[in-house]
Amino acid sequence: MKIKECCTVISQECIAKDIYSMWISTKAIAREAKPGQFVSVYTKDASRLLPRPISLCEIDREKDALRIVYRIAGDGTREFSRLRAGDTIDILGPLGNGFPLEEAKGKRVMLMGGGIGIPPMLETAKAIQGEKIIVSGYRDELFLTEELNAAGQLYLATEDGSAGTKGNVLDAVKANRLEADLIFACGPTPMLRAIKAYALDKGIPCWVSMEEKMACGIGACLACVCKSTEVDGHSQVHNKRICKDGPVFLSTEVEL
Ligand SMILES: Cc1cc2nc3c(=O)[nH]c(=O)nc-3n(C[C@H](O)[C@H](O)[C@H](O)COP(=O)(O)OP(=O)(O)OC[C@H]3O[C@@H](n4cnc5c(N)ncnc54)[C@H](O)[C@@H]3O)c2cc1C
Ligand code: FES
C-alpha cells in the first residue's frame, strides 16, 4: 500500500561532505515499509514537479519514523538539505519491492553497498537474523560506519586507501577472503555489474538494487525501465520497471 503524506522533519544533519541524514515522522508510511524500498520525496519548488526517489536507510515502526541518507546531486536534494526539524515535506511511499529477506534465512549473507548505495544496506542488515557480512565502498570520506558496524561484521574499501582495503568492494572481499551463500547489493551500475559477474563465477545467488532516473515512481510512465532477460508480464517486452518491479532484482534477471 502506497500512501502520500505531508510529513514532519524530526532532525537533519550533514554526516559527510554533501551527504545528509534526515529522520522524518510519518503517519503510516514507516509502519508499511520494508528494507530496500524507497520513497518519492517532493520538492516545494513548482518548477520541479517530479519527486526524487530516495531509499530507506532506517525504519522505526514504533515511532513511525523513517531515516533517509542522501547526497546533494542537484537542486532537489539541495532543497531537502535545507530543511530543519519541524519543517514539513511531502512523501509518497513505501515504493518498490525491497530485498527478499526470506531468502536470507539460515544463510551467510554478504551485503555490499557502494557510495550512496550504502544507506539501504543498513536497514536490510538490521532486518536479517543470522550471519551478516557488510562490505561498504567509499570514495574517501566514511559515513554510517558506526551503525553498520553494530548491524553486522563490517569491512571497508576506499578508493584512496584511507580506510580499509584500497579499491572497491570486491577488492575488500578478496583481500579479506570473505565468503557468503547470498549477496544483496546496492550501488552504481559498474559496481553491480562486477558483483553480478563475481556472483555468477562463484555460483552465489545475488540480488541487486538498481537506480534509474524516475518520473512517476509508481509504474505508470515507463521512464525507468531496464532490460530484463524474461518478457515482462505488464509490457510484454524484455523490460522491467525499476520503480514497480524493482528496484531489487535477481542479478540474472536483468542486464547490467
Ligand atoms: C530507487 C532509487 C533510490 C535512490 N536512493 C537514493 C538514496 O538513498 N540516496 C541518494 O542520495 N540518492 C538516491 N537516489 C538517487 C536520487 O534519486 C537522485 O540523486 C535525485 O533524484 C537527484 O535529484 P536532484 O533534484 O537533486 O538532482 P537533479 O538535478 O534531478 O539531477 C542531478 C544529477 O543527478 C542525476 N540523477 C538524477 N536522478 C538520478 C537517479 N535516479 N539515479 C542516478 N542519477 C540520477 C542527474 O542525471 C544529474 O546528473 C535513488 C534513486 C533511485 C532510482
Ligand atoms: S518512474 Fe514511471 S514507470 Fe517507473
* CATH code: domain of residue 197: 3.40.50.80
| Same domain, yes or no: 106 and 54 | no
Same domain, 188 and 89: no
- 161 and 185, same domain (yes or no): yes
42, 57 in Cβ contact below 8 A?
no
**Do 46 and 17 reside in the same domain of the chain?**
yes
Residues near 215 by beta carbon (within 8 Å), at least 6 away in sequence: 50, 221, 223, 224
Average pLDDT rounded to a whole number, residues 232-244 = 80
156 pLDDT higher than 70: yes
Task: Provide mean pLDDT across the span 215-226.
Answer: 91
State pLDDT tens for residues 74-133: 999 999 999 999 999 999 999 999 999 999 999 999 999 999 999 999 999 999 998 999
pTM for this entry: 0.95
Q: Indicate whether residue 18 lines ligand 1 (CB < 6 A).
A: no
Distance CA 29, CA 73 (A): 25
**pLDDT 10s digits, 51-72:** 999 999 999 999 999 999 999 9
Ligand in nearest proximity to the CA of 20: 1
Instruction: Quickly list DSSP for 50-76.
Output: SPEEEE-SEEETTTTEEEEEEE--SHH
Residue 16 near ligand 1, beta carbon < 6 Å: no
Ligand 1 contacts CB of residue 214 (under 6 A): yes
Residues 89 and 116 in one domain: no
Task: Residue 87: give the domain boundaries.
Answer: 3-95
Tell me the CA–centroid distance for residue 154 and ligand 2, in Å: 34
Split at pLDDT 50, 70, 90, the class of 233 is low
**Average pLDDT in the 127-146 region?**
96
Residue 163: is its pLDDT beyond 90?
yes
What pLDDT score does 21 carry? 98
Whether the CA torsion 232, 238, 244, 245 is positive or negative: it is positive
Which residues, judged by CB distance below 6 Å to any ligand atom, belong to the binding site of ligand 2? 214-217, 219-224, 241, 243
Q: What is the mean pLDDT of the segment spanning 176-182? A: 97
In angstroms, what CA-CA distances link 73 with 2, 38, 48, 124?
A: 26, 17, 14, 24
In total, how many domains does the chain have?
Answer: 2
